[in-house]
């Protein structure tokens, strides 16, 4: 690799220098391609591991009498990955590793702020292995969530999660991951139908949730309309909701599952005060695109990036079709006890058209938005949904309903503690 005019005869560059050069070139290429691949279910470009990392992996002995789960336990002492850097680490590239010794920071019995909808163990779920899988990134280490450091990061700030019931799950997860280190007399919860506020008095901080399932306005924002054909979305207006987002320091948005109704979306321009006529029925992805542009325009016009950080949680997969993971005799996610291990699995519950809308709208925004790309890692977790261990219209499923998972298993929402904790570990790593 040296100049041929000055290279001494019979001399070669040390292998370590050649290896370092190759790794450096691969790293530079990765920086240029990371933005392209961050929303993809699989990378367009593949890079071989650098020698040091490859040697570390190959030097770990595998005992033949161990199960696959035991062999997949994370060995932090032998870990040779990079420290987490938001600009360099692709959180979509990794695998779920079973760790029998892992204990969540909270349980659905220890945290008093969890909804019954996601309190699976309290609702009768017997197996607990779904809580012992950790998301391990391929090339870097996702930091352990430290509740005291997390609270210091948000000291004196307002944090607000905005979106649907899946975003409410992420908010509850975040609250439960920090609340237990706060003295009882230094914390409070004020619940509202639309806006709920957890206050950490000692840190002069709030962790809030604001209900806006479409982000833009709709006729089903407060009083839920069960029939999706009767829902009307005001795709050009976010003002009613957005006035509650002002002066917030950290905003975490999401919207996806409410757009997945299987019917065209009644999309309205103008005010509901003028009646509900004048709407146009649009394909879900088309209506979503218009609505997300409305949201993006508000962010660009109203958010000061010097004082407010904006995050967007990508779509949370649903697992309604067991044939997606080749379980032809299965019933949705019911009775699934392990994640999918096939790399790059992508089911019918994650619509790439919506992922592309998020990417395209985000690319054109002036205000920086950090996208928490949780879709691929969540795709694998068919085992972690609420399933039959949940409630319906405020009541726990009865035995007859539990015996009919085809109609009653919830394969949209996640048990807590569970997968949304990992979403918040990624958020924590970005703060």
The set of catalytic residues is: 165, 410, 413
Three-state DSSP at 412 gives strand
| Residue whose structure tokens are 């909270």 | 106
CB neighbours (10 Å) of residue 153?
Answer: 15
Distances in whole angstroms, Cα of residue 343 to Cα of each of 45, 92, 338, 377, 426: 15, 11, 14, 10, 20
Cα–Cα distance measured from residue 117 to residue 123, given in angstroms and rounded to the nearest whole number: 9
Category of 247 on φ-ψ map: left (φ > 0), alpha (ψ -120 to 50) or beta: left
Burial 173-183 (b: 16+ CB within 10 A, else e): bbbbbbbeebe
CA angle 316, 320, 324 (to 5 degrees): 95
**What is the enclosing helix (H) or strand (E) of 286?**
helix 284-302
Distances in whole angstroms, Cα of residue 115 to Cα of each of 39, 187, 391, 397: 31, 18, 10, 15
Cα–Cα distance measured from residue 249 to residue 365, given in angstroms and rounded to the nearest whole number: 19
Report the relative pairing of strands 250-253 and 309-313 from DSSP bridges. Answer: parallel
């Amino acid at each position: 690799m040296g100049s041929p005019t000055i290279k001494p005869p019979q001399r070669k560059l040390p292998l370590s220098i050649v290896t370092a050069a190759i790794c450096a070139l691969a790293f530079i290429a990765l920086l240029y391609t990371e933005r392209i691949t961050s929303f993809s279910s699989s990378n367009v470009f593949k890079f071989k591991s650098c020698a040091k990392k490859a040697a570390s992996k190959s030097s770990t002995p595998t005992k033949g009498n161990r199960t696959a789960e035991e062999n997949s336990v994370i060995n932090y002492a032998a870990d040779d990955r990079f420290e987490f850097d938001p600009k360099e680490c692709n959180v979509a590239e990794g695998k779920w590793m079973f760790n029998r010794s892992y204990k969540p920071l909270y349980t659905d019995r220890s945290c008093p702020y969890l909804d019954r909808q996601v309190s699976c163990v309290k609702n009768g779920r017997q197996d607990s292995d779904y809580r012992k899988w950790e998301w391990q990134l391929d090339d870097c280490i996702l930091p352990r969530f430290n509740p005291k450091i997390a609270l210091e990061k948000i000291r004196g700030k307002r944090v607000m999660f905005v979106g649907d019931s899946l975003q409410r799950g992420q908010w509850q997860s975040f609250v439960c991951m920090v609340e237990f280190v706060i003295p009882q007399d230094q914390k409070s919860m004020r619940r509202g139908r639309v806006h709920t506020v957890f206050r950490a008095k000692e840190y002069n901080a709030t962790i809030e949730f604001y209900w806006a399932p479409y982000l833009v306005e709709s006729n089903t924002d407060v009083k839920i309309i069960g029939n999706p054909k009767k829902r009307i979305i005001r795709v050009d207006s976010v003002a009613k909701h957005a006035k509650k987002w002002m002066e917030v320091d950290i905003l975490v948005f999401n919207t996806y599952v409410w757009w997945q109704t299987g019917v065209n979306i009644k999309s309205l321009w103008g005010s509901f005060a003028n009646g509900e006529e004048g709407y146009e029925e649009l394909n879900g992805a088309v209506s979503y695109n218009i609505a997300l542009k409305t949201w993006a325009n508000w962010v660009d016009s109203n958010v000061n990036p010097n004082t407010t950080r904006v995050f967007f949680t990508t779509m949370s997969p649903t697992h309604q079709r067991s044939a997606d993971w080749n379980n032809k005799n299965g019933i949705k996610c019911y009775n699934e006890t392990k994640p999918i291990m096939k790399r790059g699995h992508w089911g019918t519950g994650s619509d790439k058209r919506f992922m592309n809308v998020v990417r395209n709208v985000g690319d054109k925004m002036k205000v920086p938005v950090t996208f928490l790309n949780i879709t691929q890692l969540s795709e694998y977790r068919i085992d972690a949904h609420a399933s039959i261990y949940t409630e319906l219209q405020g009541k726990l499923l009865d035995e007859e309903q539990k015996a009919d998972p085809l109609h009653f298993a919830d394969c949209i929402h996640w048990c807590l503690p569970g997968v949304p904790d990992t979403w918040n570990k990624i958020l924590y790593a970005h703060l």
